[in-house]
């Protein structure tokens, strides 16, 4: 049976996902086989495994940090909100149903056996399991049906560390208040506290730490500084992804759709020389840019309506008239066509809607969800403007419930789907090459493709081409090590090992 440790937070976005990734890397560096686990994940940022199964992106990042392949065993339940009240429920990587909050609350207890089975299977294969909670364990109205915080810790008999975010202020109160709202058995499971995202002089904080320890009768295992590492976050609401950049010879704008999904698709672009990547938030205008990206969406029709009602659609069409590059990924690609049909009303009450008309395509929303890892070849017949990317091999993954006829002007040809030979057209491209769309998430993690595309943009602006960009996957490996160094130097890792061994 493996050792285990669980990180729970005083609230959402306190840094649990990042610290879980850091511990996975540290234990890997120490010679252990290690895997992450999160029983229930609510996120629109997802990934497709080699088996064609869908899981939360956060556990994919943590698996990468652990040096292992992602598996749905690490995230048996994934919730993908499709509106303010409903979400798609994905169990073991497959769509199960769509439920509102009250329906899901009643359904949760039925998931306990599945969660325990998946955790046990994972435990049989790894020395250490690092478990991540969700939100806060002090949601007292949800305690009786909890499957992701203290309910899970009890189910798998795991010790717990509570993480508090000092950057937002009130960290002492949030930690003490969280422990106050736990019952005696839950408090006994808490073996220590981590203060995260600290800025400033640690010596000034130390008296407060001592007072907190006296109040809660728990040790502070360490204080982790606010760390500028480039590791994919779980939640699209995280501030770092939506701050406007500055400078850069090439300006790339990404529309922050109300139901944006897989926003991490564009993170590789942030690291490019002379590139400014920025997000266009609700209430903002696009303004001038060299490249506009319409990202994926969990509710394509709803988000298309939002673009129209806000006037952003008119800005998009004006950018097209001005000869700017416009790129659509997945749901964004669907929006760029002439029509979207939803005959089964999967996304809501609208069965048919006009698209932006940027590409000569139509999409039908289907009941079956496509979830595949893919390898593809960019078309060799693209317009000359896109010559730097012609014929390139790329890989990524598809997650969509729409079928689009790419016609004769496809952007790429899929040659492998989940490791099996395929011969499928993907995406579409305009006759001048300034507009294209694709279903392939992760396409910007292909360094040759990114270099070629940026060079096409640079050519159009009369700029010299770049000859080299760092491989994004190698860059991420270096960042995992950098994150591990910071956390190892900030936490009492020896104490964490003692905690795990004490609750074996």
- Which residues are part of the catalytic machinery? 330, 441
The residue-averaged pLDDT of 271-292 equals 92
Distance, first Cα to last Cα, the chain: 8
C-beta atoms surrounding 423 within 10 Å: 8
CA proximity to 457, closest of 246, 232, 293: 293
The domains spanning 3-231+477-502 and 250-462 adopt the same CATH topology: yes
- The answer to whether residue 407 scores a pLDDT higher than 70 is no
Other beta carbons within 10 angstroms of residue 258's beta carbon come to 16
pLDDT value for 243: 45
CA distance 245 to 251: 9
Where along the chain do its domains lie? 3-231+477-502, 250-462
Q: What is the pLDDT of residue 211?
A: 96
Ramachandran region of residue 345, left (φ > 0), alpha (ψ -120 to 50) or beta? Answer: left
Model pLDDT for residues 373-388, shown as the tens digit of each residue: 999 999 988 999 999 9
**Which residues are 86's β-sheet partners?**
100
**Contact between 53 and 72 (Cβ < 8 Å):** yes
How is residue 443 written in tokens?
């396409």
CB-based contacts of 116: which residues, under 8 Å, 6+ apart? 155, 156
User: Residue 238 in 3-state DSSP?
Assistant: coil
Instruction: Locate 388 and state its tokens.
Output: 């730097």
Over residues 409-438, the mean pLDDT reads 92
3 in helix, strand or coil? strand
The Cα 483–Cα 229 span in angstroms is 6
Is the confidence at residue 24, as pLDDT, over 70?
A: yes
Residue-wise pLDDT for 117-174, tens only, equals 999 999 999 999 999 999 999 999 888 899 999 999 999 999 999 999 999 899 999 9
Task: Read off the pLDDT of each residue in 296-321 and give the average, rounded to a whole number.
Answer: 95
The yes-or-no verdict on residue 313 having pLDDT over 90 is: yes
DSSP 421-434: EEEEEE-EE-TTSS
Please give the full DSSP string across 5-26, using - where no structure is assigned.
EEEEESSTTSSHHHHHHHHHHH
Could you write out the DSSP letters of every residue in 29-46?
A: HTT--EEEE-SEEE-S-E
The rounded distance, in Å, linking the Cα atoms of 258 and 298 is: 9
**261, 297 Cβ separation under 8 angstroms:** yes
Rounded to whole angstroms, the Cα distance separating 235 from 44 reads: 8
Q: Check if the beta carbon of residue 122 is closer than 8 Å to that of residue 73.
A: yes
Which residues, 6+ apart, have CB-to-CB distance to 174 below 8 Å? 10, 11, 164, 165
Nearest 10 degrees: Cα torsion 249, 254, 256, 260: -150
pLDDT of 246 > 60? The answer is no
**Rounded percentage of the chain residues whose pLDDT exceeds 70:** 96
Which of 7-11, 75-79, 95-99 has the lowest average pLDDT?
A: 95-99
Architecture of domain 250-462 in this structure: 3-Layer(aba) Sandwich (3.40)
- The tokens for 339 are 């029509």
The pLDDT-based confidence of 232 (bands split at 50, 70, 90) is: confident
What is the rounded average pLDDT for all residues in the chain? 92
| CATH superfamily, domain at 3-231+477-502 | P-loop containing nucleotide triphosphate hydrolases (3.40.50.300)
Q: What values do phi and psi take at 190, rounded to 5?
A: -75, 115
Nearest to 252 by CA among 461, 472, 479, 467: 461
- Distance (Å, rounded) from C-alpha 193 to C-alpha 136? 14
């Amino acid at each position: 049976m493996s050792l285990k440790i669980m990180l729970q937070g005083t609230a959402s976005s306190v840094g649990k996902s990042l610290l879980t990734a850091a511990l996975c890397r540290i234990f890997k560096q120490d010679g252990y086989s290690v895997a992450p686990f999160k029983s229930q994940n609510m996120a629109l940022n997802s990934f497709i495994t080699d088996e064609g199964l869908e899981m939360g992106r956060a556990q994919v990042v943590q698996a990468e940090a652990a040096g292992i392949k992602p598996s749905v065993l690490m995230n048996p339940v994934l919730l993908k909100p499709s509106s303010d009240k409903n979400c798609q429920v994905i169990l073991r990587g497959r769509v199960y149903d769509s439920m509102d909050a009250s329906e899901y609350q009643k359904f949760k207890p039925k998931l306990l056996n599945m969660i325990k089975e998946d955790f046990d299977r994972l435990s049989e294969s790894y020395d250490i399991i690092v478990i991540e909670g969700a939100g806060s364990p002090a949601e007292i109205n949800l305690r009786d049906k909890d499957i992701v915080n203290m309910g899970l810790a009890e189910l798998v008999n795991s010790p717990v560390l509570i993480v508090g975010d000092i950057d937002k202020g009130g960290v002492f109160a949030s930690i003490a208040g969280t422990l106050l709202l736990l019952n005696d058995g839950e408090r006994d499971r808490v073996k220590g506290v981590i203060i995260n995202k600290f800025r400033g002089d640690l010596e000034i904080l130390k008296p407060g730490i001592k007072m907190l320890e006296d109040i809660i009768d728990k040790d502070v295992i360490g204080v982790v500084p606010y760390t500028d590492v480039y590791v994919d976050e779980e939640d699209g609401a995280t501030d770092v992804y939506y701050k406007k950049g500055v400078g850069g010879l090439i300006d790339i704008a990404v529309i922050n759709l109300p139901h944006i999904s897989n926003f991490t698709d564009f993170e590789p672009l942030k690291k490019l020389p002379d590139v400014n990547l920025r997000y266009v938030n609700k209430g903002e205008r696009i303004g001038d840019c060299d490249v506009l990206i319409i990202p994926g969406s969990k509710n394509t029709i709803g988000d298309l309506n939002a673009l129209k009602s806000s006037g952003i659609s008119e800005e998009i069409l004006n950018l097209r008239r001005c000869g700017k590059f416009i790129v659509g990924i997945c749901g964004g690609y669907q929006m760029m066509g002439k029509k979207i049909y939803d005959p089964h009303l999967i996304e809501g009450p609208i069965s048919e809607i006009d698209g932006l008309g940027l590409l000569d395509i139509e999409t039908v929303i289907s009941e079956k969800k496509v979830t595949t890892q893919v390898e593809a070849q960019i078309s060799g017949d693209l317009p000359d403007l896109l010559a730097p990317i012609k014929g390139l091999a790329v890989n990524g993954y598809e997650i969509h419930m729409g079928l689009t006829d790419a016609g004769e002007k496809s952007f790429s040809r899929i040659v492998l789907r989940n490791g099996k030979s395929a011969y499928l057209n993907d995406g579409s491209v305009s006759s001048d090459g300034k507009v294209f769309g694709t279903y392939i998430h992760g396409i910007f993690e292909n360094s040759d493709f990114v270099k070629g595309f940026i060079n096409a943009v640079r050519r159009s602006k009369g700029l010299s081409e770049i000859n080299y960009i760092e491989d994004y996957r190698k860059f991420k490996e270096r960042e995992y090590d950098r994150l591990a160094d910071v956390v190892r130097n900030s936490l009492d890792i020896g104490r964490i090992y003692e905690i795990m061994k004490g609750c074996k």
